[in-house]
């Protein structure tokens, strides 16, 4: 039987508590969200621009066990494309 090679991505973040490596939440405190809308002829609205200001702490949370992974937030931010 041929041997299968598995490639491990060293950049992949995983929760040290539960091992989750797929689902994460970024939670920001004290956020001001400003959204510009225009109203269309039919009365509906279309979003034109969305601007957010984060005034408080930003945390990274495991989407499985809700562990606080904020220590990994800088690495997480570098990998968001």
Residue range 29-81, pLDDT digits in tens: 999 999 999 999 999 999 999 999 999 999 999 999 999 999 999 989 888 88
* β-sheet bridge partners, residue 46: 38
Output the pLDDT for position 7. Answer: 59
Choose between 57 and 3: higher pLDDT: 57
Q: The tokens of 13 are what?
A: 């973040």
Quote the pTM value.
Answer: 0.70
Number of separate domains in the chain: 1
Output the pLDDT for position 28. Answer: 95
Task: Identify the band that residue 3 occupies on the pLDDT scale cut at 50, 70 and 90.
Answer: low
| Residue 63 domain boundaries | 1-81
* Beta strand segments in the chain, E: 24-28, 31-39, 45-54, 58-62
């Amino acid at each position: 039987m041929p041997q299968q090679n598995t490639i491990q991505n060293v950049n992949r973040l995983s929760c040290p508590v539960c091992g989750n490596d797929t689902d994460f939440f970024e939670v920001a405190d004290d956020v001001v969200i400003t959204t510009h809308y225009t109203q269309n002829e039919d009365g509906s609205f279309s979003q034109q621009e969305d601007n957010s200001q984060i005034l408080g702490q930003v945390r990274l949370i495991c989407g499985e066990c809700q562990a606080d992974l904020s220590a990994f937030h800088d690495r997480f931010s570098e990998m968001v494309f």
